[in-house]
Structures are given as structure tokens and as C-alpha cells.
A and B are shown apart, each in its own frame.
Chain A
Amino acid sequence: MSTKNDTSLENTTEDQMRLQHLRSILFSKELDELSELKAILDSPALLDEKMKPMLETRIETHLEGLKKQFPKEFSVIVNRMIEQKIQSSQTEIMNMLSPIIGQMVANYVRHQFQILKDSIADQLQLVASQGIWWHLRNRILGLNDADLVLSASHKSVLEEIFIIERDSGLLMASAALYPTMDRDVVAGMLTAIKAFVEDAFGRKMEELEMVQYGTYCIIIQNFHSYYVAIALKGTVSTQEKEALREAIRTFVMDTPNLQNAMQDNTVEQEVSLKLKSNFIIPQEKRTAQWVELKSKPFFN
């Protein structure tokens, strides 16, 4: 059951096969010639046979010269051959190289994206640190924080919020910006991932608090018998995360009947609606509420 090792082994073999294939396209003829020459040079008998017709006295020096010149001459020929081959078999080479190049491009994009993310986070930091005077100045000038922040950065969107029973992974209540794939299954998978990670670290005390994948970020807030998970798309600053955590705590305290959501469908619907009105910001209102969310919990 060593699936992991098997896969990496397969990859290596696959890479080797690709390389082998590349080699055979590029220098199949040359490789043959080379091995023939090498056989001659390595074998005294063969060499003897080839050299006999040559002048006896010149043999030593000729051989020395041949040996010295060989790599140089050979590389010139090979280079020329490669050029020709690349011209004539571009698509074939591209097909072989594209998985490798694809990986490199993906890595590059990922790297650039991280840089972009960091710079946006810095910008957010800057705006936040300009504090009360900044806000006051903007109030006087009639500017809205949201416009300022948004003009300087990406916005994040709270797409989904789940309240999930801790052990079973069953959904207690939820709300989403768009209709999404089966939330029950997402809740289960998230619970399994959480269990896996917590198990891997072996310490129950350290619970998973965030999952990041691609441009998504899932913030997890653990309570005794359930946990709350929020899926955000886009860049999320530390302040934003803290504000959200605070908002979740307040929500939970304000919603004592949450405990009954598992048994009672009406409660589940009530809680879900409240989640929606408190956390899910419709497109048209998003700009205004986004800043509120940054600065303080945003409900009654």
C-alpha cells in the first residue's frame, strides 16, 4: 500500500521516458555514430583494422589529434543537428516539453500571485494604520473608506458560511452568496480534512483554524460542539480575519437556539436566514458593508 512512493516512482520513470524520447528525436543518428566511433576507439583490434591503411608514422599523432579534436567537432555537428531537428520537429518537442513548461509557468504564476497578495495586504495595513485622523479627514472630505481601500486593492468576498456539528460533520445551518454544490458534502469533507490535520499533529489542543487553497481561504472558528467555517474569495487581511472571528463570536452569543438546529428544521431555517442577513453581503451593497466588516462587527 505504498501509493505515494509508487506515484513518485512513476513520475520519475515518466520523466526519464520523456527525456529518452527527446534524446532519440534529437540525436538518434548521432548516437549510433557515436557508439560506433566509441567502439572503434575503445577496441585496439577495431582501431588496428581501421588504422592500418594510414601511414604508420602518423598514427600516434593522428590518434592524439583525433582524440583531442573529437569533442569539439562532435559538439559542432550536434549543435547544427539540433538546430535542424528543432526546426523540423517543433510540435513534437513542444508536446514533450509542455508538461514541464506548464509546471514552470504555474509555479511562476503562483509566485507572482503571492507577491501581489503581499503587496495588497501591505496596502490594507497602511490604510488601517492611518487610524482615526485618516477617517476624520475622509469624513470631512466626504470620502468613503471603502472606495479608498477598494481602489487600492483587491476586494474579498464572503461566499459561504457554515455551522457544522463537530463530530459528525453534519450541517447545522448555512448561507451562501451563490447556490453552490452540495453543502452537506462540503461540510463533511471539511470535517474530514480538519480531523486529518488535527490527527496528524496528534494534539487535540491544536485545532485547525484556517485552510487556504488557491484564491480561497476558509476561516474556522471552533466551539464546543460545533464549528463555524467561512469561505472567502480574494485577499483577506489579518484585521479582516479578526473582525470576522469577532463577528462569529457575537453571532453565536446572540443565537442561543443554535443548539437545537440539528433536531429542529424550523430552527435550522431561522439560523440560516440570520446567517445570511448578517454575513452574506449582496453584490449591490458590498462596497459599503465591506469596510464596516473591516472595522467592527456589522450587525445590530
Chain B
Amino acid sequence: MISKKVILTGSFGVGKTSLFQRFLTGQFNEKYLTTVGAKIAKKEIYVDGHKVALLVWDIAGEITQDKVPASYFLGASGIVYVMDMSRPTTFAHLEDDIQFLKNLLPYGVFKIVANKRDLVSDERAKELLESLPYSCDFVTSAKTGDNVETLFQEMATSLLENHHHG
């Protein structure tokens, strides 16, 4: 079976742990539990009949990515970069962070995620997404579950493509 390391990253409080939980258990918990160090879970996903095991690392968020121990990122094939739509400050480091991570993981599959869609109006969401320096790959809500499955499913698909052609 093919196994891949996927990391969830982004500023603290953006919803990494909630997306991780939603993806693994299908549930959402309002309680804010600060992640200490890293949590790792495995989920097997089928892509066109091929099984891929995603080993998802949920790491404690820092404001900027260069504060996170580099060893957490090393060897990751998939990077999910999460922002919080209700807090514009979590968008502030997007460009620097992605540059930093791409330097570290030049062959990685990146997915940029705007989370907490349920907290902002349609108008505000549109405005925010247009102001970003990179196009956002997924707009999610860990609370309602919107797009969470799709996010990981597409991550698995891209990883498998990379595996066979890369």
C-alpha cells in the first residue's frame, strides 16, 4: 500500500485540529483544545480503486511557519495550509509561509484552505478570497463539514498522481 505523510499547518486557532477531527470522526467539537506537539492519525482513502494511506500530522500552530520545528515538515508529501476566514490576520503570512514551505518541500502537493466559511457572509467571503495572493483551493467549514471530505479526497488523488508520474 502507498503511504503518504500529510501535514496540516497554519496559524493557531484557524481550525486545523477541527478539520482533522471532522475528517477522521465526522464530528465537530466547539471546545478549543490547544494542540501540544503533534498528533498523528491514519486514514485510508480509495482513489480509482487504489488504496492510499494518509498519515495526517496535526501540529501545534505558530503564527509564522518558520517557528515550527522543521523536522515536522520534512518528508511530507502533502501540505494543507489553513486560514481562518473570520480572522484576516491569519491570511497575513500566506505568501511568506507558502514560500518558506515550498523551499522546504519543493515536490510537495499544496492545498490552500480557507476555513470557518460558516462565520462570514457570502459577500465578505468573496471579497476575502479575491484579496489573496494565491488562489484558494478549498473553502471549508469544519463545523458544518462543508468540503472537508473533498479536501482530503483530492489531496489523496493528487498524491497518487504525483507518486506515479513524479
| A contacts, CB < 8 Å to B | 1, 3, 165-171, 182, 184-185, 188-189, 192, 195-196, 198-199, 265
Contact = CB atoms under 8 A, between A and B. Distances in A.
Contacts of B106: none
12 contacts: A3-B34, A166-B75, A167-B71, A167-B75, A168-B75, A169-B5, A188-B5, A189-B40, A192-B40, A196-B69, A198-B71, A265-B1
Given A168-B5, A188-B40, A192-B40, A1 B12 contact: yes
Contacts of A168: 5, 55, 74-77
Given A3-B34, A170-B5, A195 B69 contact: yes
B71 A195 contact: yes
A199 B55 contact: no
A171 B5 CA distance: 11
B47 interface: no
Given A170-B5, A265-B1, A184 B42 contact: yes
- Report the contact-size class of chain B (Cβ under 8 Å from the partner): 20 to 34
A113 to B, nearest CB: 27
Contacts of B38: 189, 192, 196
Contact of A196 (B3, B5, B37, B53): B37
A165 B75 contact: yes
Interface of B is mostly: mixed
A185 B41 contact: yes
Interface of B: 1, 3-5, 12, 34, 36-38, 40-42, 53, 55, 57, 69, 71-72, 74-77
A167 B57 CA distance: 13
Given A1-B34, A185-B41, A192 B72 contact: yes
Nearest to A182: B42
Nearest to B53: A184
Contacts of B77: 168
Nearest to A194: B71
A189 B40 CA distance: 6
B32 to A, nearest CB: 11
Nearest to A192: B38
Contacts of A184: 3, 42, 53, 55
B75 A192 contact: no
A61 to B, nearest CB: 66
